[in-house]
Amino acid sequence: MVYLYPMQLKQKTELRTGLVPQLAQSLNVLSLSSMEIQELIETKLESNPLLEEVRPKSELSGNTLPRPFRLRQNNEDFDFQESYITKKASLQDVLFRQLGCSTSTDEEFKIGQEIIGNINEHGYLAASLPDISKALNVPVENVEKVLKIVQEFEPAGVGARSVAECLRLQLKCAGEHDPLLIKIVECHLEDVAKKNYTLIAKSLKVPLETIEPLIKKIHGLDPKPGRNFCAEETQHITPDVIIKDNGKGLEISINNEDTSLLGINKEYREMLKNKGLDPATKEFLSNNLQDALELLRTIEKRCDTLRKVAELIVEIQPEAFLNDLSCLKPMTFREIADKLGIHESTVCRTVMNKYVKTPHGGAIALKEFFSSQIKAHNGESVSSAFVKRTIKELIELEDKKHPLSDQDIADTLNQKDLKVSRRTVAKYREELKLLSTTFRRER
């Protein structure tokens, strides 16, 4: 038996929230850097006839943006890196140029192209000689001959198939032919990395004093000769915020804050007042006017929020701006948000993709001034940057024959009233690119 139940219709009231287009645009603009804002405005100028560039500031009408953006910058503080936008030659580009001057036959050039095409970003040959020989249908001896030609190219060590071969090529290029030095490179690189100098000396049957200068030469070599080349376009940033030390305190400037060269076209705005205007034209102009005004408002709001956040960061972190990031105090997005009465995500968007030029000339990501905190035994907080600096100092001063373990460092920090676990020490040590105890020990 089948039971049929009557269908019931029910109404359910739900409250759903969504971002209105204006808010979405405001949040998007807030997260853009100055250069991205410039690109946005140039795009809008092309697509929106009501937007126009305005000449001198004295001629700006009431329809223009009161403060923030100007399309072209004349201020040297903000222009100091834009002219350095460039494209670096790739490793392959450099090698191909040398190949054309070093081969004498078409076959050699063809083999050289294949070899260079198989050299990875670190400068090592990633394919075997038999594979290249098979791919080109040429004798493997010919491939080996051309590889030796490529291995004489700059950067020294390129085309190697192992770290030892890479370092040998660099020694050859530098005119270093000491058999003992070559032997260390060929047989004792792992011991060099672990600082087993006594073991190396014993194995080679020479005094420790003899190998120490040789190991110093090895440390001066580059195991990744291709890493200084990049095929991608490298763009140097333009700072969004300039911090200067004027002798009385830190002075803050926001990029494009004081001058505006962007306004609303008067003729089109007057045209909108014409009662006989074609409805379609009126709708087109009205929509573009609304879009233009909204763009001006969002850029002004972005600039105002950036200034408030930057001023508060400078107020909390003056020593970090005057010295370096090791002087950072604990500071979080939530702390800034609470003090300004805005949402935490707004602070995050404000510092996103933004850079600040510090009084000592460096350009640093604004987010770098936010630091997590470590609780001390006395209840006070210190920044993770301070703990990292302390760890680095402890390692620099340690006895290299008996280096500190991560637990030793954690115990020392606890004696300094800093509550830090061994795992935290290991994490910070790795972030500082400091070797573990095993690889720091000199034997």
pLDDT in tens, 276-285: 888 899 999 9
Name the domain boundary from 316, 338, 367. 367
Q: What is the CATH number of the domain that holds 394?
A: 1.10.10.60
Q: Looking at the predicted structure, is the pLDDT value of residue 351 above 90?
A: no
Furthest-apart CA pair in the chain: how many Å?
Answer: 103
Q: What is the pLDDT of residue 353?
A: 82
**Residue 351 sits in the same domain as residue 388:** no
Q: What is the pLDDT of residue 147?
A: 94
**Residue 360 sits in the same domain as residue 376:** no
Number of C-beta neighbours around residue 137 at 10 A: 6
Asked if residue 146 is part of any domain, the answer here is yes
Q: What is the pLDDT of residue 70?
A: 40
**Residue 113 sits in the same domain as residue 61:** no
Counted domains in the chain: 3
Q: Taking a C-beta distance cutoff of 8 angstroms, is the pair 211, 180 a contact?
A: yes
Q: What is the pLDDT of residue 163?
A: 92
Residue with tokens 């807030």: 30
Q: Looking at the predicted structure, is the pLDDT value of residue 199 above 50?
A: yes
Distances (CA, A) of 174 to 102, 157, 217, 355: 20, 11, 11, 41
Model confidence, pTM = 0.52
**Residue 114 sits in the same domain as residue 176:** yes
**Residue 64 sits in the same domain as residue 163:** no
If one compares 382 and 250, the residue with the highest pLDDT of the two is 250
Q: What is the pLDDT of residue 373?
A: 60
Q: What is the pLDDT of residue 205?
A: 92
Q: What is the pLDDT of residue 3?
A: 42
**Residue 56 sits in the same domain as residue 103:** no
Q: What percent of the chain has pLDDT over 70?
A: 80
Q: What is the pLDDT of residue 159?
A: 93
Q: What is the CATH number of the domain that holds 182?
A: 1.10.10.1330
Asked if residue 433 is part of any domain, the answer here is yes
Asked if residue 10 is part of any domain, the answer here is no
**Residue 211 sits in the same domain as residue 95:** yes
**Distance between CA atoms of residues 100 and 157, nearest Å:** 19
Q: What is the pLDDT of residue 382?
A: 64
- Tell me the three state secondary structure of residue 343: coil
Most confidently modeled range among 137-141, 152-156, 268-272, 328-332: 137-141
**Which of 14-23, 168-177, 419-428 shows the lowest per-residue confidence on average (mean pLDDT)?**
14-23
Average pLDDT in the 317-325 region? 82
If one compares 198 and 16, the residue with the highest pLDDT of the two is 198
Asked if residue 227 is part of any domain, the answer here is no
Number of C-beta neighbours around residue 84 at 10 A: 11
Q: What is the pLDDT of residue 376?
A: 57
**Which of 102-106, 263-267, 411-415 shows the lowest per-residue confidence on average (mean pLDDT)?**
102-106
Q: Looking at the predicted structure, is the pLDDT value of residue 178 above 80?
A: yes
Q: What is the pLDDT of residue 58?
A: 46
pLDDT 10s digits, 12-68:
444 444 445 666 677 788 888 888 888 888 888 889 998 887 754 444 444 444 433
**Distance between CA atoms of residues 296 and 422, nearest Å:** 52
Number of C-beta neighbours around residue 141 at 10 A: 9
Residue with tokens 């400068």: 123
Q: Which helix (H) or strand (E) holds 250?
A: strand 250-254
Give the dihedral sign, CA 29/31/33/39. negative
Name the domain boundary from 351, 367, 383. 367
Indicate the average pLDDT of the chain: 79
Range of the domain at 411: 372-440
pLDDT 10s digits, 366-397:
888 887 666 555 555 566 777 888 888 899 88
Q: What is the pLDDT of residue 369?
A: 84
Q: Looking at the predicted structure, is the pLDDT value of residue 5 above 60?
A: no
**Residue 27 sits in the same domain as residue 117:** no
Confidence of residue 1 (pLDDT cuts 50, 70, 90): very low
Q: What is the pLDDT of residue 338?
A: 93
Asked if residue 191 is part of any domain, the answer here is yes
Q: Looking at the predicted structure, is the pLDDT value of residue 115 above 70?
A: yes
Q: What percent of the chain has pLDDT over 90?
A: 18
**Which of 45-49, 216-220, 326-330, 419-423 shows the lowest per-residue confidence on average (mean pLDDT)?**
326-330
**Residue 346 sits in the same domain as residue 389:** no
**Residue 340 sits in the same domain as residue 434:** no
**Residue 54 sits in the same domain as residue 98:** no
Asked if residue 86 is part of any domain, the answer here is no
Name the domain boundary from 161, 184, 219. 219
**Residue 109 sits in the same domain as residue 205:** yes
Q: What is the pLDDT of residue 20?
A: 55
Q: Which residues of 153-189 are buried (b: 16+ CB within 10 A; e: fewer)?
A: bebbbbbbeebbbbbbbbbeeeebeeeebbbbbeebb
Q: What is the pLDDT of residue 157?
A: 92
Q: Report the half-sphere exposure of 6 (CA within 13 A, side-chain side).
A: 3
Q: Looking at the predicted structure, is the pLDDT value of residue 87 above 80?
A: no
